[in-house]
Amino acid sequence: MSENTLRLGYIGLGNIGGPMAARLAAAAPMTAFDVSPDALAAVVDAGATAADSLAGLATSCDLISICVRDDDQVREVVGGLLDHLAPGSLIAVHSTISPETAAEQAELCARHDVVLLDAPISGGAPGAKEGRLAIMIGGDRAAYDRAKAALAPAGDMIVHAGPNAGDGTRMKLARNLLHFISFTATTEAARLAEAAGIDIAKLGRVVRHTDAITGGAGAIMLRDTTAPIAPDDFWYGVFTHVRELGEKDLTLALGLADELGVDLPLGRRALTDLAAGLGVPHLSPVELETPEGEQR
């Protein structure tokens, strides 16, 4: 069966699942199920057929997307599908669950000749509505290839995160680690700006504007390893420049924080760890003093 003839199913039509399913339903035959009649009706309006049970959905689908709340709900849904799926069917779990749950459910599905891919998504409700989700898929490469074209209307970046169920989730967790550490750093920047009498709403507009140009934190994720960079490597000069700018600006920001009595623990940790984290630590002993007199 070619990717373009896969009959799709979707379970879990919430803030992200609903618009994602609607985009898929507009592009291919889809059967959808949700415990909310209103959520189901919205996807039916987009072209899907409503199922009245998990069993009814399973018998009419080749690739079923699951976007429910947590690990327990994923287990419940998979359990309700397995006895009714045809051999060779695919399940794509878009929920963010633990890698262990993904592997456990993939093993269970394999005993029924069904392939489970963990396929968490990033981009939120806006990305789902626009068809611009990133979909990170872990599992069998051939199954990934089958699913990729079918899921393309919902995501303009679909990547094979690795050969094992759980690899997609591992990639998603690393991505979200950056996301929420960045959010915490944002609160430090806001406290510093507020103490300095700066309008933090205007600061936010500046941050969004410049991140759209530079790419934000992801702009330095250019290498395929975190190992230290050799001095004769092309990236050595690039990342040394980043380090020098970062250490200068962090030192200035921390000096302002000390003047204003604002505690910036992530800022101080960044100054301490930036060089080694970038892979371009100082080649000779250098005492880099923070405004509090701490030394690297």
Query: What residues act catalytically?
Result: 172
- Pairwise CA distance, residues 17 & 120, whole Å: 11
- Pairwise CA distance, residues 166 & 182, whole Å: 24
